[in-house]
Amino acid sequence: MPIPSVFIGLDQAKLYYLKSQYLTSLQIVDQAESALQAQLDDVGKARKQLTDLMSELDQQIAKPVAPVALHTPDLLTAHRVNAEPGDPESGRTA
């Protein structure tokens, strides 16, 4: 036995009113879906950028690292020139 329609007994004006309400609701759902799809696209782009940056970082990490000089002659010279007289590291005497 088929289930009777919930719309039986409603006059034409009420049926058209319900139809317009349903159409309005569908428009709202479509707008929300579009907004969510745009956000999902943005998230996908951000994921791609992060993946690219991680790949670049991995490549940079894989490169051999040149030793870093802790003291260069220029820094040592500047330190000695700017040192106060009497400072044992400056080589200058008072």
- Give the 3-state DSSP-derived string for 3-20, with helices as H, strands as E and coil as C: CCCCCCCCCHHHHHHHHH
H/E stretch holding 72: none
For the chain, give the percent of residues with pLDDT over 90.
54
String of b and e for 33-49 (b: at least 16 CB within 10 Å)? eeeeeeeeeeeeeeeee
Q: What is the pLDDT of residue 42?
A: 98
Segment 62-85 shows an average pLDDT of 65
For the chain, give the percent of residues with pLDDT over 70.
71
pTM of the model: 0.51
- Length reported for the chain: 94
